[in-house]
Structure 1
Amino acid sequence: MSSSNRETMPRLRFPRYDVVDALRGTAMVWMTVFHFCFDLSYMGWWKQDFLSDPFWTLQRVGIVSLFLFCAGLGQSIAYVQGQSWSRFGRRWLQIALAAALVSLGSWWMFPRSYIHFGVLHGIAVMLVVVRLTAGWGRWLWPAGALALAMPWLAQWWLSGGGAAWADAMNGRALNWLGLVTRKPFTEDYVPVFPWLGVMWWGMASGRWLQARHAHRLGCALPAPGRALAWLGRWSLSYYLLHQPVMLGILGALAWWLKA
């Protein structure tokens, strides 16, 4: 086929599934509430222990898990629809650049604990791994289980026979893997292990759903679900903007109250 013919062909548009977008939108709403509470604590208006209080730490685990599961689910759909590597690469580049912006912004606000490998950094790395392993089929399930267990296995080994490696694995050059004996001091930390396991399970779930229950992905949603689906289609932009906007509003309110 000549290049001129390719240029005149209509661009293929693959369907989006509102169910998946709504699930991602749910994670975004949950994240917004969580971050708003964090911001209130940061401003000194409602002091909370976000580092060790299970009420907050378990919510963070739930939010990150839902985001990564949706990322794996989305990759399974893209894989089945035949997404090209060039299209994948364009989206990946957006995520990688957004991760760099998060690092820069967090360094400006929290220079001692800036985000060097947070959720977007983790997603950027894990998306490549998940894309390369999309053809593993049922093996994605045990692979995900192993990934989830890796930090505990590594901690056991590094505390015993592999103790000589502990300092190296805990250092910034390698702690993004998650095979550490202590977590780094940072505002956000989403290493490859165990979180790759969640994304692998999202991919496995998506492959299973599309093979056996594809009709459920295309089911109609009520109005609240459609609103969440709309929000879920703008996840990256929303993620980058929601915190600066909320902090800006709270900062302006604090200034107004002091005036």
Structure 2
Amino acid sequence: MRARRTSPPPAARPQRLQSVDLLRGVAIGLMVFYHFCYDLGYYGFADFDFYDSPFWTSFRTLILSLFLGLVGVSLWLAQGRGVKWRKVLRRTALIAVNALLISAVTWQLFGERFIYFGVLHFIVVASLLGLLFLRFYRLNLVLGLALLALGAYSHPGFDPRAWNWIGFMTHKPATEDYVPLVPWFGVVLLGLFAARWLSRRGSLSAAREPAWVQRARLLPLAGRHSLLIYMLHQPLLMGVLGLFA
């Protein structure tokens, strides 16, 4: 009697963690507040020094660190057990289109100060580059810390726009948003390491999330729709404030 052929069980879908969405919601909320204050200055309602003030530069660093660390965590959750290329390419293409849209709009608004390698441009490159590091564990910790340290190095050869997206520039380029690979890809690698470290201990699981995290609604919702909020919040803020300028 011929044995019945059984089909393999379907691959487990990557779990979406409420805690990760909540943290991303916190990051997007802080970013909206940051841009609201920036817009107040843009329209002359306030006078904030976003370029040299330790408070505002540290605040921006905090927001970026939270966002980009979660890029690493999310990359591990979604692709750590096998790269799903269709999903990767679809998601990356969506972010890339929005990044190009931001470049086009900011060219109209700011001219030569347009955004050519901001946070979305960085996420596109880092999401693809990060796939090469999914196999590593402790090496991601070492490389991540090394890239953070390398952020202090500078060389005039990296000052031209063709190269300063890598990092190592001697001065901040004239652009409204700038997130170079070095040191910020180090934060993504640290996120990858942290996700794998927590996974090994069983902590990166919906079953281990506190009850208050599972009950949260607004921040996780914002975290799940962070790209939409990112794209819409500035036109809305500038439109409303522009009515009173």
TM-score normalised per structure 1: 0.85
Letter in 1 for 2:212: L
Partner residue in 2 for 1:58: 58
Output the aligned Cα RMSD. 2.1
The answer to whether structure 1 residue 240 and structure 2 residue 231 are counterparts is: yes
Indicate the percent of aligned positions where both proteins have the same amino acid. Answer: 40
Secondary structure of residue in 2 paired with 1:100? helix
The answer to whether the 8 A contact 1:18-1:226 is kept is: no
The answer to whether the 8 A contact 1:96-1:124 is kept is: yes
The answer to whether the 8 A contact 2:80-2:134 is kept is: no
> 1:96-122 CA distances to partner (integer Å, 9 max, x unpaired)?
111101111111111121111111111
Q: CA deviation at 1:151?
A: 2.6
The answer to whether structure 1 residue 221 and structure 2 residue 212 are counterparts is: yes
Letter in 2 for 1:250: L
Secondary structure of residue in 2 paired with 1:171? coil
Match of 1:188 among 155, 177, 188: 177
> 1:177-212 CA distances to partner (integer Å, 9 max, x unpaired)?
012112211101000000000000001100111111
Secondary structure of residue in 2 paired with 1:112? helix
Partner residue in 2 for 1:22: 22
The answer to whether the 8 A contact 1:18-1:221 is kept is: no
After the TM superposition, which residues 81-96 of structure 1 pair with which residues of structure 2 at under 5 Å, given as runs? 81-96=81-96
Partner residue in 2 for 1:123: 123
- Stretches of structure 1 that go unaligned for 5 or more consecutive residues are 1-8, 159-165, 255-259
The answer to whether the 8 A contact 1:25-1:230 is kept is: yes
Letter in 2 for 1:124: V
Q: CA deviation at 1:83?
A: 4.4
Partner residue in 1 for 2:166: 177
Q: CA deviation at 1:223?
A: 7.4
After the TM superposition, which residues 192-203 of structure 1 pair with which residues of structure 2 at under 5 Å, given as runs? 192-203=181-192
Partner residue in 1 for 2:5: none
After the TM superposition, which residues 31-50 of structure 1 pair with which residues of structure 2 at under 5 Å, given as runs? 31-50=31-50
User: Take 1:99 and 1:215, find their aligned partners in 2: how far apart are those partners?
Assistant: 30
Aligned CA distance change for structure 1 residues 118 and 105 (closer, same or farther; 3 Å): same
User: Take 2:13 and 2:108, find their aligned partners in 1: how far apart are those partners?
Assistant: 40
- Stretches of structure 2 that go unaligned for 5 or more consecutive residues are 1-8
Q: CA deviation at 1:70?
A: 0.7
User: Take 2:89 and 2:126, find their aligned partners in 1: how far apart are those partners?
Assistant: 13
User: Take 2:205 and 2:219, find their aligned partners in 1: how far apart are those partners?
Assistant: 17
> 1:53-112 CA distances to partner (integer Å, 9 max, x unpaired)?
111111001101110001111001112353401111110111111110111111111112
User: Take 1:227 and 1:248, find their aligned partners in 2: how far apart are those partners?
Assistant: 24
Out of 75-84 and 189-198, give the one that drifted further: 75-84
User: Take 1:37 and 1:223, find their aligned partners in 2: how far apart are those partners?
Assistant: 31
Q: CA deviation at 1:226?
A: 2.8
User: Take 1:80 and 1:130, find their aligned partners in 2: how far apart are those partners?
Assistant: 11
> 1:23-55 CA distances to partner (integer Å, 9 max, x unpaired)?
000000001111101100110001111111111
TM-score normalised per structure 2: 0.90
Partner residue in 1 for 2:200: 211
Letter in 2 for 1:230: L
